[in-house]
Amino acid sequence: MELSDLIAPENVVPNLRVTSKKQALQELAKKAAELTGQPERAVFEVLIERERLGTTGVGHGIGIPHGKLPELDRLYGLFARLESAIDFDAIDEQPVDLIFVLLAPETAGADHLKALARVSRLFRDRAICDKLRGTDSADAVYALLTQGATSHAA
């Protein structure tokens, strides 16, 4: 599975302006609802519920909120580069400025885990993260995400 299977150029928000984790999740749920056809409230609820289980702030300024929705037909990815880093209750207590939302059908099983692993591997590459932080073009961000993912094959 490639990141290009999960994300399209219109799934990239290159300059999201938010001031809190809740606001970030609300804005991303709104965008995800447009992309998936799912109700915004349902997307937000699944992301918040996952955060209650434990933070998806994985460290080094990266958040990977994710969840499963029964009505989805496939996996969806959505990426946002925040204009300013926010407190995300990350495991390293550092603010987050790169967020990749992953939404999966309830029946996704191993595919959901494989996609999470792929996203995690990509964001372990500090050079790619630095490049993502250095651009505010949606096309450039998309190219970095999809080109970077091919060099991090499972």
Catalytic residues: 66
Q: Residue 123 has what DSSP assignment?
A: H
Residues 6+ apart with CB under 8 A from 147: none
Instruction: Give the C-alpha separation, 24 to 80, whole Å.
Output: 9
Q: How far apart are the C-alpha atoms of 77 and 89, rounded to whole Å?
A: 22
Report the DSSP beta bridge partners of residue 69.
105
Degrees (nearest 5) of the Cα angle 77, 83, 84? 110
